[in-house]
Structure formats: structure tokens, C-alpha cells
Amino acid sequence: MEDGNGQPESPGALWSDSDVPVPLHGTGEAAGVSESAGRNGDETRTGRALAADLVAASAADFSPERMLRAAGEEPSSGWRRAIFSLTGGLVRIGPSAAELHYRELVAEVKTPVRGCRKVAFISRKGGVGKTTTCLLAGHTFAAYRGDRVIALDGNPDAGTLGHRLRRETTATVTNLLADAGEIERYADIRGYTSQAGTRLEVVAADDDPRITQAIGEPEFARAIELLEHHYNLVCLDTGTGVLDSATRGILDAADQIVVVIAPSLDGARAASSTLDWLEENGYESLVEGAVGVVNCVRAATTVLDLDRVEGHFAARCRATVRIPWDRHLEAGAETVVGQLAPGTRQAYLELAAAIAAGFAERAERR
């Protein structure tokens, strides 16, 4: 079952159809003494004392958590849902392994963030779906988390992140920087963002590359500093040049990176050399906590052994995820999460969970 944004509804507590009786804190011997307490005064006093202890010890057992049946939740789909409906809710079958895995992923995605967490999406090769990966990871986080999530287009070559959702404003990162001194509250910054149905917000780049190329390391550092005061999670889309001033500014501010890998030999080689460059230029901690994403941007099969590619990056990164090809994403137009194939939504949930697994780790500042 899906919500209005095309996302599966988040399950609640696990249903248990077994009721385990809670024993009272007493023994058969104590009961026996109590029953025979009328034989003499000493036995009566002893029996009353033990009975009083038994009652006092047992009273704490009668809490709602221990004594009331858990209401559980309705199965969301499949034959479990059918049985639940046919029996009027009297029979509830426990969740499947797939449902349990889904719940674990959702719980991981909801990992609390202290302050603000900044995740940069990088690739040295164009056309690998880096912007799409950044956008869909942001959509997934925003759909499941209760805090504020925003994506910033940090591509100095007229990035397209702002065109992948319905624009609510013509403001761009350039306007945001120009008016930075007047922004004090979240309500102020909201005028520079567009918000999707998932609640993900986006700060767009200018369409004119002459403007965006003029925004370098200090400007993006200022923009990120402004965003982190109002958002809990910032997804940073970058250009293809890791040596660009703008990208260096984003890397310096990032707590984590996601390396997007094309399912081709040269794409995998470029991604691996990107990790080499990062390790050689003071970003070792980002590489250690990196998530590698093998993004299948084409429907055609490839002779490349993707399992071996994933194995290579699994040895270098904290986690790897493979995203399947999806017809809805191929056009590069406005992305509607509800129109993604179920397998694609599942893959992005896996990616968001892999990223969130690093939220609990302490960021090592360089």
C-alpha cells in the first residue's frame, strides 16, 4: 500500500499473535503456607506476611505494556492482507521476511541527526545519473524522515537539479547568496526553495553557466553554512570536476560522500580514480565512509561484470548499492516518485539506509 507520494506506508510495531502469560512472583510453597495458615497463630502470621509480599510483588506486573494485548497493525498487502480482511481482522499473520527487511530499512533511514548532516554526490564522469541519484536519495529521506531535507545544486556548469521537480520560485543559489544577510528564519529561506510532494526542498542553480561558474569555493561554503542552520540533512549535487573550486568547497563542508558509478569499464575506472584522488588530497575520512552507487542508466545489458565492479568498490567504500534502470528516469524530466518501478523505489530506499548508517558516526573534520 502506498501513500499519496507513491511511497510505501511506514509500518508500525510488529504484530505478535502469541500471548505469553506472565507468572506471579511466588511459588507453590508460598501458596501452601498461605492455605495452612489457620492451624496456629505463628503459621497465620507467616502466611499473611508471605501473602502480603506476594500481592505487593505482583502488583507491578499489571502494567499496560505487560498485560494488554498489542493492537498490532493491519497487513499492508498480499495474502496476509486478504486473510485479515476475510476474517474481519480476527486473524493477523506475522510480517514476511521482505516486510521485516523493509521496516529495518525505514528505521535506518530515520536515524536521528545531531545538528546537520551534509552528503555530497560526486562523479568525474558525466551522464552517470549523479543528479538523479542526489534527487531520489533526497526524495527518499524527505518522505520517511520527519525533519527538514534539502538538495543544493552545486554544479558550476548550469546544473539541472532545479528542473527535476515543479518549480515554486525562480530564485536560485545566486539570489540566496545575494540576500544571505537578510535571512534569519526558516520562513525567510523558504522563499528561495521549491518543495516536492515528498517535502524535499531544492535550491536551483542558474541556467546561465557564466553565472554559476563565477560561484566558487567561498560562495558555496557560505550557502552551505546558511542551509545547515535551517535543515537537518543537506544533499549536495556537484559538477564532474573534482578540481573545480565549487566542488572543493562542497567536499570541505561534506560529512559524507556518495560516489556514482556508471555501469561501464571507463565509468568504473573514473570512479575508482576519484577515490584515489580524494585519498591523496586529504579526504581519507570521506573515502572510508563513502557509499558507492552502481547506477544502471541504460536498459541494454552490458558485458561488464557488475558483481565484480561492486566487489571492487565494496572493498574501498563503506557500502555499495546498485540502482536498476527505470524508464521514468530516462527522460531527465520532472521526477514523480510514484511513477518509479517498485524495484527502483526499493533500491533508493536501500541507498538512503546505507547513507543513514553513517549518521551515527562522528564526522572527522579535516
Answer yes or no: is 232 within a domain.
Answer: yes
| Domain count for the chain | 2
Output the pLDDT for position 139. Answer: 97
pLDDT value for 60: 53
**Band of pLDDT at residue 87, cut at 50, 70 and 90:** confident
Q: What is the mean pLDDT of residues 94-122?
A: 92
Residue pointed to by grid coordinates 535571512:
183
Which of 11-25, 120-134, 156-170, 235-249 is predicted most confidently?
Answer: 120-134
The answer to whether residues 131 and 37 belong to one domain is no
User: What DSSP letter does each residue of 235-262 carry, written as one string?
Assistant: EEEE-S-TTSHHHHHHHHH-SEEEEEE-
pLDDT score recorded for residue 173: 92
Instruction: Looking at the structure, tell me whether residues 165 and 268 fall in a common domain.
Output: yes
Any bridge partners for residue 202, and if so which? 151, 194
With respect to residue 73, please indicate whether it lies within any of the assigned structural domains.
Answer: no
Task: Kindly tell me if the per-residue pLDDT of 329 is higher than 60.
Answer: yes
Q: What is the mean pLDDT of residues 44-55?
A: 47
Q: Which of 120-129, 181-190, 308-317 shows the lowest per-residue confidence on average (mean pLDDT)?
A: 120-129
pLDDT exceeds 90 at position 88: no
Average pLDDT of the chain to the nearest whole number: 80
Mean pLDDT across the stretch 57-81?
A: 62
Range of the domain at 237: 114-356
CATH code of the domain in which 132 resides: 3.40.50.300
| 52 shares its domain with 192 | no
Q: Is residue 215 part of a domain?
A: yes
8-state DSSP, 70 = P
Residue 18 in domain? no
Do both 161 and 254 map to the same domain? yes
Signed CA dihedral, 193, 195, 199, 204: sign only:
negative
| pTM to 2 decimal places | 0.75
227 part of a folded domain: yes
**Same domain, yes or no: 53 and 175:** no
- 219 and 320 both lie in a single domain: yes
Q: Examine the domain organization and report whether 50 and 179 are in the same domain.
A: no
45 and 146 part of one domain: no
pLDDT at 49 over 70: no
Mean pLDDT of 127-144: 95
Judge contact between 322 and 296, C-beta under 8 A. Answer: yes
Choice among 123-132, 226-235, 263-272 with the minimum mean pLDDT: 123-132
For residue 136, being part of any structural domain is answered with yes
Work out whether strand 256-261 and strand 149-154 pair parallel, antiparallel, or are unpaired: unpaired
Question: Which residues contact residue 141 at a Cβ distance below 8 angstroms, ignoring those fewer than 6 apart?
Answer: 109, 149, 200, 233, 235, 352, 356
In a domain, 91, yes or no: no
Per-residue pLDDT at 302: 73
Tell me the average pLDDT across 62-90.
68
Are both 42 and 143 inside the same structural domain? no
Task: Give the per-residue pLDDT at 160.
Answer: 84
Spatial contact of 294 and 261, defined as CB atoms under 8 Å apart: yes
Highest mean pLDDT among 61-65, 67-71, 337-341: 337-341
Mark whether 188 and 325 lie in a shared domain.
Answer: yes
pLDDT at 68: 55
Output 230 or 362, whichever has higher pLDDT: 230
Same domain, 201 and 131: yes
CA distances to 16, 55, 286, 338 from 227, rounded to whole Å, are 43, 58, 21, 28
Cα of first residue to Cα of last residue in the chain, in angstroms, is 44
Position 230 scores a pLDDT of: 96
Indicate the range of 183-192, 203-212, 303-312 predicted with least confidence: 203-212
In a domain, 90, yes or no: no
Model pLDDT for residues 265-274, shown as the tens digit of each residue: 999 999 999 9
Whether 256 and 328 share a structural domain: yes
* Predicted pLDDT of residue 116: 96
Percent of the chain with pLDDT over 90: 51
